[in-house]
Structure 1
C-alpha cells in the first residue's frame, strides 16, 4: 500500500493531468502482486517508488496544453521553478530565436536539459552553454520531469540548480493531426499558427513513431505597444534627458572636444531636432540637456518607430523513434531528431560614432539650417535612419541521433548509448554600414562656390550615400558525440532488502565554432557585434557509481559519486548522499546533499573580442560630486562595452542541500514541501559593467581615506578597464571572462494537489509555490588598503522576485473539460540610503497575476476541439520608474485567444 500511495501522489498532476505511463504500469503491477522497478530522473538505479531522496515534479503534456501553452519553452518559463524568469525570444540580438529555463534563478547554463535522459544539443548561439527549448516538438512530448535538486554526481556538468528531462512518446498506434491558431487582441503582430502530424504502430516486438510539427509566428512591432514609446515622467521637463524614459541618446549629437569639455552639442544652431524626422516618423527628439552634465545638448532617438519586439519565426521539427525487442532480454532503441528554425529580427537603424577627418566650418544650408562648426577629431553620435532598418535573418538547424541497447540478465541489467548531435546557425544581416567608407564619404566646404560638396552628417537633408552599405555574416556550430555504458545489479542482501548498485562510464567529444565576416570581426561595421565566439575542442571522460542501501524497512540511503576529466581545465569529483525515510505509510521524509560543477564553455575559453551595449550607473562621478553618495547614485551613461574570453578559466563548483516531506493527507489530497540551499563558487562571469563602475568608486574612496594613490580597477580584475572623459562621463569599458565570486540561494518549494470525484464531475487542483529567502552574489577583492566584499542579498530586488506561484484548477464532466491556470509573480523593490542613512524604496515594480482559461470537448469521432484565452485580463509587464521591464519575467504578447482541433485515426 505504501508504494501504491506514493505512486498515486506523483500521478495527481497539473490541470487535466493523466497518470504517467510509468506510474500506470507500476500501479498495475502492484495490483497484480508483482513489482516492476523503474528508472526516474535523478537516479540511474531502477527502483520501485518514483519519490526518492531528491524532489521530482512531473508535468504531463496534456496538462501543458490545457494550461494554454503550445510549446515546451513557454510552459517551463511560466513554471514556479523558473524563479527569476529566463529568455524567451526578442530582437536586436543573436538570441532572437532562443528559449531557455533557469531553475532557482541560477542561470540557464546551470540547468541541465535532457531529452529522454540524454543531453540535449547545446545552442552555439548561447555559446554552447544552454539548450534552445524552441527546437522541441510539443506534439512528441509525453511528459516533463523536473528534478529540483543538484545532480552532477549523476549527470556531470551543468546540473547545479536542477534537471529538466523531456520524455518523448514511445508507444503510439494510429495517426493524429492537430492544428491551432492563436491571435492576440492587440494590433501589431504576435499571431501564430501550429500544425502537427503524428503516426505510429506497435506490434509484439517493436514500435515506431514519427512526428512532424510546423509553427509560424508573426513579429510584434514596438510601436504597437504604448509602453515602448518614449515619454516624460509625470511633472518632468521634456528639455531634460533625465526625465525621458525609453529613449536612446544615439540620435544626432556632436561630441565636441576642441574646447576640452567633451560636452554634447547638437549639430544645429537654429533648429530643434525634429528637422531630422523624415517620412512622417517622429523619431528624433530634442535638444535636451542633462542634470549630470548641464552643458550638454543632445538629439535623442526613438527606436520604437522602426524596430520589432519579437522576431517572426517559421519552425519545422521532425522526430522519428524506433524500438525493437531483439531478444526477450535485449532491446534496441533509435531516435532521429531534426529541427529547422528560421527567424527574422528587425532592429532600428544603425547607431554609430563618426570621427570627423577634418575641420568643417559653420554654414547655413539652402533649407535654412545653420550647422555647428566641428574640428578634426570631434565626433558625432549618428543614427543612420536614411540607410533603413537592420534586418538579421537567422537559420538554426539541429540534427540529433541516438541509438541505445539495453538488456536484462540473471544478475541485473546493462545499457549503452551513443548520441551524436549538431546545432548550426547562420545569420545574414543587412542594413549595416562600413565604418571606413562612411568616414571617407564626408565631404568638404567649397569656399569658392560657398557650398558644401559631398555628404555632411550634420545636415538634416544630406542622406548617407549608398556606397557605405554593408552586410553582416555570422556562422556558429556546436557538435557533441557522447558514448556511455553502465550496468545495475544487486550487491548483497541485508535484512531490510538488497543493496543495489550501478556502475557506468562515458566519453564525450565537443567542438564549438563561432565566426563572423572579416570586416565585422575587425570592428569595421557600424551596428555589428564587433567579434566572434572563437573555436575550440575538448574531450570529457567520466566514471560514476550509485549505491542504494536499505538500512531499515523504512529507511534507505543513496550514495553516488562521479569523476570527470576534461582535456582543457582538468578533473573534478562530485559526491551525492540521499536519505529516504517513511515513518508512516502515507508520509515520506527525505534529505540530500550533493556537490556539482559547471565546466567553462568553449566560448568562455576562446571567445574573441565582442561588444555589447549597456546603460551603466556612473558611481565614480557620484563619488567625485560633492554631496552625493555612491550607494544612491542615479547618474547613468550608455556605451559599448568590449568583452573577451579567457583560456585559463576553471570550472564552477557548487554545493546543494535539500530537506523535504511528501505527505498523502488522504487519498485525494497530497502535500510536498522541500527546503533547499544552493551555493556556487568560482563563478564564471563577465563582470557586470555596473560592478566595474561601483568597484572603481569604492577603490577611489578607500584610497582617498588611506591617503594613497588611487588604484585602477584593472589591479583587481586583470584585463578589465574603465576610462572617463574630462567631464566625468564614462568613455569606455573592457571586461574579460573570469572565475570570480560566489552565489548563495535559499528557498522552499511547495506543491499542494487535490482531486474530488462527484456525481456531477471531477475536480482537480494543483498549487505550486517557490519562495526564495536569500539570493546573494558576492565577490571579495583584496587591495593594498583593505579587503572589500562586494555584494548584497538581492532577493526581492527588481528582477529577483521572492515568490512565483502556479495555480491550476480543472473540472471534467464526461466529454467536457474546463481548465484555469494562474501565474503569480511577486513585487520587487530596490532600496537605497537616504541623507539620514535610512533605507528607503528607490525603485519598485508591482506584483502581477495572469489568468488562462481553456475549454475542451471530446467529440464522438475521435476528435477534440479546444478554445482558450491566455492572459485574460490583458496584463502588461510591470515597469520600474525608468519605464524598463524584465523580458525574462514578463510577456509582451498581452491577451491572446486560440482555437485548436485534433483528429485521431
Structure 2
C-alpha cells in the first residue's frame, strides 16, 4: 500500500505538472468510458469522473425507459422532441441530396454544428453532404434497442470534444453487461393510412466472472407515406386549402415565348393527355401531389455487439462492433422541362439546345404543326414528362464501426483507457425516371418533321431517351485515443481532480456521380462529386479544484491541429457553487470552433436545380412575387421559376470560431427538482454560400452570382463557400419535476422542459443587413414539453404534451411590407401534440405496451408564405397524423 501511494504521488506530479503544457504541444488522444463498477462516473461535457450528476454545464438525460414511455420509435424521434432542438433534417426531404438520412439541430446551430457521439466516441460523417455542402452525422441508423440512455450537453464542448460541438453534444450511451435473451416486437400504423411500421428486436447476452458479450439486433420496415394518403395533399390538392400562395405546377403541357399564335391545348386535350387544367390561370398544369411521397419506404437492419473481458484485477479489454444496412426508396413527380429553344423565323423552325445541337424544319409541318400559325419569335415547350413515370431514388447505406481498447486503474487511484476506432459508411444511390439532354433532343427532332411535345410519347420513345443516374459515396474515420483521470492533489475541502488525454484521427471521403450527370447531360438533376482527406491530432487537459466546500472551479484546455487549415486552441472555465445541499448555482464559458466541411473544401462543383422567385424580373414585368398572375410567363417568374444551381468548394476556408456561455441554477429536493439556465453562443467567420432564393430576392447585392438570359430572366445561380457570416443565439432553458407518492394508490410524476429563444441573429456577409431569424421567419421562439407518468403495481401510463410556438412564415420578411397582408396572415400556427402510452408487466419477463402518438391528430401546420410544396416546415412538423402502436416484450 505504501509503494502504491508513492507511485501515485509520482504519477500525480508528472501528469498534473505536464498536463496543460502537453495540451498545446502533444499529439495523441482520449475518451473515457463510463465506469459502472466505480463510485465516480463520467458525465457528458467533461472527461473527469465525478460523483455528482449535476454539473456546471447543463445536461439532459433521456433513458431508454423514458423514450419507450413517450412512444418514440427511433432515436431520431426522441431527439426531435427535445425542446432544445430547433429543427431537424428528416426523411421527409424526398427532394434533397440526403433523403435517406436524418439529423437534428440544437440551439439553431445546424446539424453540422451539433456533435453526435456513441459512448464518447465520434461517429463517422455521412458521405453525402446535406444540401450538397454540409457534413453531418446520420441519426437514422443508430440502434434504438442497444441504448441505455442519451445524454445531451446543451452547451458547447470544443474544449473537451474538439470541433463541431457548438450547439451541443449528443452522447448515446449503450447498454453494457446484458445477460440473457429478450425478444421485442412493435407494430404501428397511422389512422389515415400509409406509414405503417414494424420493428423486431433481439437482445442476447452472456456473462461469466471475467466478462460479458452483449448483442443487440433490430430490423425495422416503414411503409411509404404518399401524398395521396392525406386529404391535404392528395389528388388535385397541390393547391392546399391552407395556403393562399400554393398552386398547381404550371409545368403541364404548353408553349411559352415571345411570339404569338403557337398551338395551345384545350381543357379537354389537357386532361386527356394526363395533365390537370388549372381554371384559375387557364393553363394546362400539373398536380404534383399525386406523384409525391411525404415519407419514403425504408428498411433497416442494425446490429451492435459490446464485449468486455477482465485481463487482470486492474485491466479490462473491451470493444464494440456495429453494422447497419438500410434501404430507402423515394418518389416524386416526373421531370419538368423547358430546356429546348425553338426559333421561328419566316418559314423556318429551328430547335436548339444552347450551342451544342440544333436542327431546322419547315414551320408549317415541323413539330406536329405546333408553330404553323406562330409569329416570328423565340419559343419553348413547358412540359411535364409524365410518361417517364416518377423520378425515383433508391439509397442503400452500409455503416461499419469497430472499437477495441483497454481500460483500467493505475496505482489504485487513476482511471485510464485507450482505444483504436474505425468507422466507414458506404452509400449507393440508384435513380430512375430521367432522360438525357441528347436523348430528348433526338426525340423532338426525329425524322423529317420531328415530334410535338404537346403529344404524349410512346413507350419505345421513352425507353430510347431514358437514363438511370447513379452515385456512390464513401467516408471513413480512423482514430486512436487515450485518457487518464483521477485525483490531482488534495485540498482542505476535497480532492482536486484532473483528466488528461490525446487523440489522432484520419478522415477521408469520396463521392462521385456517373459521368453523364457530372457533365450536366441529364435533365432536371445534378451531381455532387468530390474527394478529400485530412488528419488531425489533439491533446487536452482538465482540472477541477474545490476552493471551498461550497465552491468548485474547473478549467479545460484543448489544442486541435488539422492538416488542411492549421490549429485551434479551445479553453473552458466552469464554476459550481452550492450554498446549500439542494441548490447548485453554475456558470460556464467555453471557446468553440468548427472545422470546415470536407465537401466545402474538397468537393467538386455541385450541380443542382431549384425553384426561385425572380424578384427583379417579376417586378419589371409588372407582377407581384408570390401572387398568382393570369399571364403564365409572369406567373412562372413570380412564383416557381425553375433554374440551375452550382455550389462550389473553396480550399482556402478557415475554421469557424466563437464562444458559448451558460449561467444557471439547479434545485434538487426530495420531491421537487428544477433548473433555469441562460445560455448564449456565437460563431464568427462562418462558412456561408448564399442560397439561390436569397440571391434572387436580394439581387442588388448578389447580382454577380446570377446568370440571366436575353430577356433578363434568371437561368442560373452560382455560389462559392466563403468565411463570411456570423451567428449569435441566446435563450433560456427551464426544467421542473415533481412526484407524488399516493402509497397504495400509486405514484404520479410530472416533468416539464422548456426552451425560449431570446435572440437569434446573423449576417450572411460583413456588408449585408443583420438578419433576425425569429422576425424573418421559420424559427419557433419556444418549445415546451410536459410529461405525466402514473405508476401503480404492474401498470404504468404516460401522457406527454409537446408544444411548438407560433412562428412567422419562412418568407415572412418578403410579404410583411405589403399592405395587403396582416401579420396573422403570414404566420404558422402553434401546435401541441399529445402522446399516450400504457404498459402492463404480466410477469417479470413479459410486458405489453400500447399507445397513440399524436392523440388529437394535429398538424402539420401550414406556412402561408411558403410557395414550395408541401407548404409546411418539414424540419418542425410531419404529415403522419394520429398513429397507434402495440409492442410486446418477452425475456428469457
Tell me the TM-score normalized by structure 2.
Answer: 0.86
Tell me the residue number matched to 1:705.
none
Q: Do the aligned partners of 1:84 and 1:799 also contact (CA within 8 Å) in 2?
A: no
CA distance in 1, matches of 2:309, 2:35: 22
Does residue 404 (structure 1) correspond to residue 401 (structure 2)? The answer is: no
Q: Distance in 1 between matches of 2:527 and 2:484?
A: 46
Bigger shift: residues 878-887 or 743-752:
878-887
**CA contact under 8 A between 1:361 and 1:372: conserved in structure 2?**
no
Is 1:221 the equivalent of 2:226?
yes
Q: Residue 172 of structure 1: which of 163, 178, 181 is its match?
A: 178
> 2:475 aligns to what?
478
Name the SS for the 1:226 alignment partner: coil
Picking from 320, 325, 331, the partner of 1:335 is 320
1:443 to 442, 445, 448: 445
Q: Could you tell me how far apart the structure 1 residues matched to 2:248 and 2:82 are?
A: 32
Q: String of CA shifts for 1:293-341, please: whole Å, max 9, x gaps.
A: xxxx854321111221211011100111101111111111110000000
Alpha-carbon shift at residue 152 of structure 1 (Å): 0.5
- Which residue in the other structure is 1:250 paired with? 251
Alpha-carbon distance, 1:488 to partner = 2.0
2:396 counterpart of 1:413: no
Task: Specify whether residues 461 and 394 from structure 1 end up closer, same or farther in structure 2 by C-alpha distance, changes over 3 A only.
Answer: closer
Q: CA deviation at 1:130?
A: 1.4
SS of 2:401's partner is strand
**Which residue of the partner structure matches residue 735 of structure 1?**
719
Change (3 A) 1:779 1:820: same
1:469 maps to what in 2?
466
Give distance in 1, aligned partners of 2:238 and 2:530: 43
Instruction: Check if 1:496 corresponds to 2:493.
Output: yes
Match in the other structure for 1:774: 759
* In 1, Cα distance between equivalents of 2:360 and 2:690: 39
For 1:823-838, what aligned pairs fall within 5 Å after superposition? Answer: 823-829=802-808, 830=812, 834=817
Aligned to 2:20: none
Instruction: Give the secondary structure class of the aligned counterpart of 1:692.
Output: helix
Deviations 1:21-56 (A, max 9, x none): x99979xxxxxxxx8221111100111211111011
Cα deviation, 1:676-715, whole Å, max 9, x if unaligned, reads: 0011111112212233234333x4xxxxxxxxxxxx643x
Q: Does 1:610 align with 2:597?
A: no
**What's the secondary structure of 1:548's corresponding residue?**
strand
Partner-residue secondary structure (3-state), 1:327:
coil
Q: 1:227, 1:408 → 2: CA distance? A: 61
| Map of 2:527 onto structure 1 | 531
- Corresponding residue of 1:708: none
Instruction: Give secondary structure in 1 for the equivalent of 2:145.
Output: helix
Aligned-pair distance for 1:774? Answer: 0.8
1:592 Cα shift? 0.4
Partners of 1:360 and 1:444 within 8 A in 2: no
Give the Cα separation in 2 of the matches to 1:360 and 1:567: 59
The corresponding residue for 1:80 is 83
The answer on whether the counterparts of 1:371 and 1:459 sit within 8 Å (CA) in structure 2 is: no
- Cα distance, 1:652 vs structure 2: 1.2
User: 1: CA distance between counterparts of 2:323 and 2:241?
Assistant: 55
**Offset at residue 740 of structure 1 (A):** 1.2
Q: 1:121: how far off?
A: 2.1
Partner of 1:29 in structure 2?
none
Q: Does 1:576 find its partner at 2:572?
A: yes
Change (3 A) 1:562 1:255: farther
- Aligned partners of 2:687 and 2:604: how far apart in 1? 16
2:209 is paired with a residue of what secondary structure? Answer: coil
Residue in structure 2 matched with residue 9 of structure 1 by the alignment? none
Structure-2 change in CA distance of 1:108 and 1:232 (3 Å): closer
Contact 1:390-1:432 within 8 A present in 2 as well: yes
CA deviations on 1:221-275 (whole Å, 9 max, x unpaired) are 1122232256598999xxxxx9762433333343425x5xxxxx89633523x52
Alignment of 1:230-309 (within 5 A): 245-256=246-257, 268-269=263-264, 271-272=266-267, 275-277=269-271, 283-286=275-278, 299-309=284-294
Matched ranges for 1:577-596 at <5 A: 577-596=573-592
Q: Equivalent residue for 1:391?
A: 392
SS in 1 for 2:599: helix
| Structure 2 residue 851 is the aligned partner of structure 1 residue 851 | no
Question: Judging changes above 3 Å, is the alpha-carbon distance between structure 1 residues 243 and 148 closer, same or farther for their aligned structure 2 residues?
Answer: closer
Counterpart of 1:381 in structure 2 is: 382
Once the two structures are superposed, the pairs formed by residues 485-884 of structure 1 within 5 Å of their partners are: 485-528=482-525, 530-621=526-617, 635-638=638-641, 639-664=643-668, 666-697=669-700, 699=701, 713-714=703-704, 721-725=705-709, 728-759=712-743, 760-781=745-766, 788-795=767-774, 797-829=776-808, 830=812, 834=817, 840=823, 843-860=826-843, 862-882=845-865, 884=871
Q: Distance in 2 between the 1:902 and 1:234 partners?
A: 42
**Structure 1 residues 469, 629: closer, same or farther in 2, change over 3 A?**
closer
Rate the CA distance shift 1:741–1:266 in 2: closer, same or farther, 3 A: farther
Instruction: Give deviations 1:89-137, integer Å, cap 9, x for gaps.
Output: 4423342221111101211111100001101221112367211111112
Change over 3 Å in CA distance of 1:835–1:795 after alignment to 2: closer
Give the gaps of 5 or more residues in structure 1. Answer: 1-21, 27-34, 237-241, 260-264, 290-296, 447-452, 700-711, 715-720, 782-787
Q: Secondary structure at the match of 1:441?
A: helix
| Structure 2 Cα separation of the partners of residues 609 and 837 of structure 1 | 41
SS at match of 2:95: coil
Q: 1:428 to 1:840 in 2, by over 3 A?
A: closer
- Distance in 1, Cα, partners of 2:120 & 2:265: 68
Matched, 1:150 2:153: no
Pairwise CA distance, 1:366:
13
**Structure 2 CA distance for aligned equivalents of residues 555 and 457 of structure 1:** 78
Equivalent residue in structure 2 for 1:37, among 36, 40, 50: 40
- Change in Cα spacing, 1:270 to 1:738, as seen in structure 2 (3 Å) is same
User: What residue in structure 1 maps to residue 142 of structure 2?
Assistant: 136
Distance in 1 (CA, whole Å) between partners of 2:666 and 2:698 is: 46
Correspondence 1:318 to 2:299: no
TM-score by length of 1: 0.85
For 1:422 and 1:110, how far apart are their aligned partners in 2? Answer: 21
**Distance in 1 (alpha carbons) for counterparts of 2:604 and 2:271:** 38
- Cα contact 1:252–1:266 (8 A) shared by 2: no
Deviation string 1:746-768 (CA, Å, 9 cap, x unpaired) is 10111111111112001011111
How many Å separate the matches in 2 of 1:522 and 1:590?
Answer: 56
Higher relative contact order (CA 8 A, sep 6+): 2
Query: 2:736 is paired with a residue of what secondary structure?
Result: strand
Partner in structure 2 of residue 892 of structure 1: 879
Give the match's secondary structure for 1:741: strand
2:169 alignment partner in structure 1? 163
CA RMSD of aligned residues (A): 3.1
Q: CA–CA distance in 2 between the matches of 1:805 and 1:651?
A: 34
**Unmatched 5+ residue regions in structure 2?**
1-32, 341-350, 353-358, 627-634
Does 1:457 find its partner at 2:442?
no
CA distance in 2 between counterparts of 1:386 and 1:234 reads 25
Q: Does the CA-based 8 Å contact 2:56-2:575 persist in structure 1?
A: yes
Q: Does structure 2 conserve the Cα–Cα contact (< 8 Å) formed by 1:324 and 1:333?
A: yes
Contact kept, 8 Å, 1:599 with 1:652, in 2: the verdict is yes
